Homo-oligomer: A and B are copies of this chain.
Amino acid sequence: MNRRERLRESTLEEIKTIAGQQMAEQGTAAISLNAIARQMGMTTPALYRYFSSRDELITALIVDAYNAQASALETADASFSLPDDYAGRLLSVLLVYRRWALENPVAFSLIYGSPIPGYHAPAERTAPAARRNFAVILGILNAAYQAGVLRPTERYFQLPPALLDRPDAQQLLSDGLPVPVLYLGLVGWSRIHGLIMLELFHHLDTLVGDLKTFYKGEVLELLAANGLVPPDRNS
């Protein structure tokens, strides 16, 4: 790698870092090439050496955000010491899911919040990174299911078939994922998502004091309802 190539790489990272800082202050919709260039001590046209347009930059930021979140989840799972304690692994990963959202509120709302006006994400670029996240959760659920530890409630076996008739779901099922596991994964994902969104956008501030405990309670409840109980309940 050249000196020139190394410089290019680090400038590219700097652009995205500063874009992130500015979104943190002004919101995701406020991404501005001029403002980024100004803070970097460059002129705006120079940024066009790195991104062919503002939309290109946004797409890169979104893909980065998905990947950063997925890496956080994967790291949390990989560093969990008891691979057979599926409940513990899920709880650990889902707590990291929430923590990552709270520590990276901008990246999180870039992904899951209101879309940026005038910007349309090219699905072929963002979708693969998006799937990585859900895959982590589904992976642990499925491992627990195969091990016979996860025993989904009756309802997860009795779902209307029209529910999972979309391409990504079909792909997962044809890759061998059992229906109740996918169904349970969707339910779990939507539940934690709701709590995090409400917390992140301050709709629970005046109602609930200890949001981490509240969140943890919801996760443990869902796991327990499907047969998954951590070996040591003190954790």
Which bucket holds chain A's interface residue count?
35 or more
Give A124-172 interface residues, CB cut-off 8 Å to B.
Answer: 127, 130, 155, 159-160, 162-169
Interface pair A210/B162, CB less than 8 Å apart: yes
Report if A201 contacts B (CB, 8 A): yes
- For window 63-120 of A, CB contacts with B under 8 Å fall at 109, 112-118
B201 & A190 in contact (Cβ 8 Å cutoff): no
Chain B residue at smallest Cβ distance from A182: B207
One digit per residue, 1 when the CB lies within 8 angstroms of any chain B CB and 0 when it does not, for chain A 203-235 equals: 111111110011001100100000000000000
Chain A at the B interface: SS class: helix
One of B112, B155, B217 near A155 (C-beta < 8 A)? B217
Contact B115 A206 (CB under 8 A): no
A42 adjacent to chain B (CB < 8 Å): no
Residues on A close to B: CB < 8 A? 26-30, 109, 112-118, 127, 130, 155, 159-160, 162-169, 186-187, 189-195, 197-198, 201, 203-210, 213-214, 217-218, 221
Q: Are B117 and A29 in contact (CB under 8 A)?
A: yes
Contact B213 A160 (CB under 8 A): yes
Also in contact, A114 and B201, with CB within 8 A (given A155-B217, A155-B221, A206-B167): yes
Find out whether the CB atom of A117 lies under 8 angstroms from the CB atom of B27.
yes
Distance between A220 CB and nearest chain B CB, rounded to angstroms:
9
Residues of B within 8 A of A210 (CB): 160, 162-163
Tell me which residues across on chain B come within 8 A of A195, comparing CB atoms: 190, 194
Question: B113 touching A114 by the CB < 8 A rule?
Answer: yes
Most buried by B among A29, A116, A159, A205: A29
Q: Smallest CB-CB separation from A28: which chain B residue?
A: B114
Given that A114-B27, A201-B114 are contacting pairs, would A208 and B194 also be in contact in the complex, using a CB cutoff of 8 Å? no
